[in-house]
Amino acid sequence: MIQTQSTRSRGHVGVSIRWCGPLLGLGAAGLMLFSAVPVAAATTVYLGRSNSFAVLAGTPNVTNTGASTILGSLGVSPGSAVTGFPPGTVSDGTIHTADGVAAGAQSDLITAYNHAAAEGPVTATEPANLSGLTLTAGVYQTSSDGALSVTGGTLTLDGGGNPNAVFIFQTASSLITGTSSVVMTGGASACNVFWQVGSSATLNGASFAGTVMALTSITVGSGVTVNGRVLARNGDVTLIDDRINASACFPAISSSNSPVPDTGASGASQFEIGLPLGLGGLALLGIGVSVATIRRRRGVSAR
């Protein structure tokens, strides 16, 4: 049988089409696989009704000495004592003592704290003292999930040009800062920095960035500026001539009057993103297999 150029061309086209189906199927399978793999990226910790609070204590009180300035609400629940205001001042918010607003904020703080503690996978383990490091967005803890400190140098958080870059620091123990400071570069925002502390936090030094969520108490040393929040679940908050500025973060996170969405750890949200990609991959896989089957049957009939 003499094959013409046209016949050979049709043969090559048929072979190409027959291979197209399986290749589409393999590509789709790869798409399904990788869409379900979580990446080491932190997700925003939604604070719900605690979002509008710059200072929040559990029990027994919030204590202030000197002319501290609070930009955001200040509250305590189930404790009922707030002392030192005045001379301390509260702006961009109000004082709530053992009322429904403070109780709601504490309820949402528990959910936010648990979210931050469960966030993963961990981007990297770092030494206990974070001073002198430059870190990009992610989830960080020490090798033993022990105490964290920033003493003797500057911790730089680099957003890499992304204003929505999220940094989460996890410790089952304490957080202590010294004369050093936390600075933001590369477009990073203190509103997207979260410190989940399994016991108590002590903040000293010129400046600190982020929302501290401590299981027990928080003590802020003299003259410290915190760009973020100090939120204690069970213990008290102590201030001395400090400036706690949360007002810039009010629009950045969920509404202060809304409950915290039950987002869980980052893996859940990544699964939700990967699911439609996986379904799309499955559809492509089916199409690819169908095309390959049809071409093979036509080829057999032609022979």
With contact defined as beta carbons under 8 Å apart, do 200 and 214 qualify? yes
CB of 222 closer than 8 Å to CB of 64: no
| Residue type at position 38 | P
Estimate the crossing angle of helix 266-302 against helix 5-35, to 10 degrees: 160
Please tell me the predicted confidence (pLDDT) of residue 185.
97
> Which residues neighbour 123 within 8 Å (Cβ) at sequence distance 6 or greater?
40, 42, 137, 138, 139, 140
**What does the pLDDT look like over 225-255, one tens digit per residue?**
999 999 999 999 999 999 999 998 986 444 3
Domain spans, the chain: 9-38+267-302, 48-249
pLDDT tens for residues 92-135?
999 999 999 999 999 999 999 999 999 999 999 999 999 999 99
Q: Which long-range contacts (CB under 8 A, 24 or more apart) does 271-279 make?
A: 271/36, 271/38, 273/35, 274/35, 274/36, 274/37, 275/35, 277/31, 277/32, 277/35, 278/31, 278/32, 278/35, 278/36
Structure confidence by residue, pLDDT tens digits, 178-218: 988 899 999 999 999 999 999 999 999 989 999 999 999 99
pLDDT at 180: 81
pTM above threshold 0.85: no
**Residue 21, pLDDT above cutoff 70:** no
- What percentage of the chain exceeds 90 in pLDDT? 63
Q: Cis (ω within 30 of 0) for the bond into 259?
A: no
Which amino acid is present at 33? L
pLDDT above 90 (res 34): no
**Which token pair is 232?**
């204690």
| pLDDT given at position 152 | 87
- How many Å apart are CA 81 and CA 41, to the nearest integer? 40
292 contacts 21 by C-beta, under 8 angstroms: yes
Q: What is the pLDDT of residues 50-80, one digit of tens each?
A: 999 999 999 999 999 999 999 999 999 999 9
pLDDT number for residue 295: 54
